[in-house]
A and B are shown apart, each in its own frame.
Chain A
Amino acid sequence: DADVTQTPRNRITKTGKRIMLECSQTKGHDRMYWYRQDPGLGLRLIYYSFDVKDINKGEISDGYSVSRQAQAKFSLSLESAIPNQTALYFCATRKVAEVNTGELFFGEGSRLTVL
């Protein structure tokens, strides 16, 4: 089983609909991240969280919200989806350790299409 699990893996929705992408992890990591990937643009950081109830904006937070109610779960919401939010979304985790490599562990991605 994957250590970082994203659901759904694929979703097609219509403009104006509310969408939630879920991320859960079994790694026991403190920090969780949501990224968006568009073709040719690499990954852009949407939101990140260092602990339960801690929320921080990334590069492109407009149009998105997140919730971190438990250490293992970090959800991303699109309150009113629009077509330019069509992208591949990745959740990632990282452990804060004494010797901190900064290594991120990614989920398998959630492909969202907004029509």
Chain B
Amino acid sequence: LAKTTQPISMDSYEGQEVNITCSHNNIATNDYITWYQQFPSQGPRFIIQGYKTKVTNEVASLFIPADRKSSTLSLPRVSLSDTAVYYCLVGVLNTGGFKTIFGAGTRLFVKA
């Protein structure tokens, strides 16, 4: 499984765009990139997933450069309720044995 590296913490203000970058230098050809969000005392929640280029949904955007050695989760106009831990995961999704390994994540603190 590819190792991921994220910043330990980030601060932002309400209304700003937040970009969290994850490094995964040894990503394999079949690996997908997935991001989860976790609030205190709750289980993580799926945010977005991608393989290459850009993916956007109602919550966030995910930017993946051509070499796929990093990815950036973009949260537009954050609010106080976006204060959470964000995890970047890299892995293979086929039925052969997908195992999800979470790192320490990035703790985002949004201030008023």
Please measure, in the bound complex, the distance between the C-alpha atom of A41 and the C-alpha atom of B8, giving whole angstroms. Answer: 11
| Interface residue? B13 (CB, 8 A) | no
Report if B71 contacts A (CB, 8 A).
Answer: no
Stretch at the interface among B17-25, B37-45, B60-68, B76-84: B37-45
Q: Is the interface of B mostly helix, strand, loop or mixed?
A: loop
Which residues of chain A in 37-59 are interfacial with respect to chain B, using CB atoms and an 8 Å cutoff? 40-45, 48, 50, 56, 58-59
Chain B interface residue number, banded: 20 to 34
The answer on a CB contact under 8 Å between B46 and A103 is yes
A90 to B102, CA, bound (A): 12
Contact B93 A44 (CB under 8 A): no
Nearest A-chain residue to B41, judged by Cβ: A109
CB distance from A19 to the nearest CB of B (A): 19
Given A42-B102, A100-B93, A105-B46, output 5 extra A-B contacts at Cβ < 8 Å: A42-B87, A42-B103, A43-B44, A45-B99, A96-B95
Q: Can you list 13 A-B contacts (CB < 8 A)? A: A35-B102, A40-B104, A42-B103, A42-B104, A43-B44, A59-B101, A96-B95, A101-B46, A102-B49, A102-B91, A102-B93, A106-B45, A108-B43
Interface residue ranges, B against A (CB under 8 Å): 32, 34, 36, 41-46, 49, 85, 87, 91, 93-95, 97-105
